[in-house]
Amino acid sequence: MKLPTPSFQPTFQAGATVVLVAASVLMFACGASSGPTDFSQQPPPSVTHKVQLSWEASQSVDVSGYNIYRAQYTTSCGAFARINSVLTLDTAYTDSNVTNGTSYCYATTAVNNNNAESGFSNVVSNIEIPAD
């Protein structure tokens, strides 16, 4: 069953939009050594990636937080799914649950005090996570 479309525009007041302004991929090497090690016998440390997102705050006074959505990208963005478990109050989010060698799209929404959610912000697409 398809849910009805909310009766409000993607902004809660004229000119108040949620604009995703930045997405960057961070790379971290995992694995620590407690002392001298023969690295010729060790596999290389694994690399994990994170995507840092930031956006401009909505100018609406009744915004209670934001949701962050992610979709896989192949030739276009796939179906978006919310990736935050609770509303975030900040205008930044780090997605640390990405898969190496995969590309993603991201969007945010604003949620007001009545739990009504705006439409998607602009979509940032084809954020490529390195394969290594």
Q: How many CA atoms lie within 13 A of 18 on its CB side?
A: 30
Q: Quick one: pLDDT band at residue 8, thresholds 50, 70, 90? A: very low
pTM: 0.71
Contact 1, 31 (CB under 8 A): no
Residue type, 118: S
Taken in order of first residue, the domains within the chain and their CATH numbers are: 19-28+44-128 (2.60.40.10)
What is the torsion angle, in degrees rounded to the nearest 10, for the CA atoms of residue 82, residue 70, residue 108 and residue 91? 100
Q: Quick one: pLDDT band at residue 66, thresholds 50, 70, 90? A: very high
